[in-house]
Amino acid sequence: MATKLHNLSEYDAAAMPDKNRVAKQRYAIAVADWNAEITYALLQGAVDALKENGVQEKNITVKHVPGTFELTFAAKVLQNKREFAAIIVLGCVIQGDTPHFDYVCQGVTLGITQLNAKTYDGGLLNEYPAPVIFGVLTTNTLQQSKDRAGGALGNKGVECAIAAIKMANLF
């Protein structure tokens, strides 16, 4: 788990799955266009990390949605295609003066959790085979988001790509 004490872009390359296997897999990324300065930096980090670990560029599908709340629907549609080893969702919600922040954060977190709970149950793949990796920044300030999107704390997009590869090759 990432914290401000751990750079989000650091990982043990030796602990990654075999690149020959990963090269044959397809990955999808759903990215929110809201807070694009942040989310597009997360997207670049994710794409770069996927390619560095053997995923062919032609095997990376990127879909844009208006905002973070729409990521759950996009992930469900991508799961239904049944062609991706894993799906990454990338968004950024920054605390404001209204409870909107709480509703969006809670909604997308619950939605992605529910998609993952339906993915694997008791040793059998269920309706939705691809794990969904949660790459949503939920920060108090724009600076905190910048720090986690290629700034002082690395890039959460890199962390999500690494998690996607590891989860896709877990079994």
Q: Where in the sequence numbering do the catalytic residues fall? A: 100
Point out which residues pair with 136 in neighbouring strands: 91
Report the C-alpha gap between 74 and 33 in whole angstroms: 13
Point out which residues pair with 120 in neighbouring strands: 125
Q: Check residue 52 and give left, alpha or beta (phi > 0: left; psi -120 to 50: alpha).
A: alpha
Point out which residues pair with 86 in neighbouring strands: 27
Report the C-alpha gap between 131 and 45 in whole angstroms: 19
Q: Rounded to whole angstroms, what are the CA distances from 87 to 118, 127, 135, 142, 147?
A: 14, 15, 10, 26, 24
Pairing of strands 132-139, 86-94: parallel
CB 130 within 8 A of CB 86: yes
End-to-end C-alpha distance for the chain, whole angstroms: 21
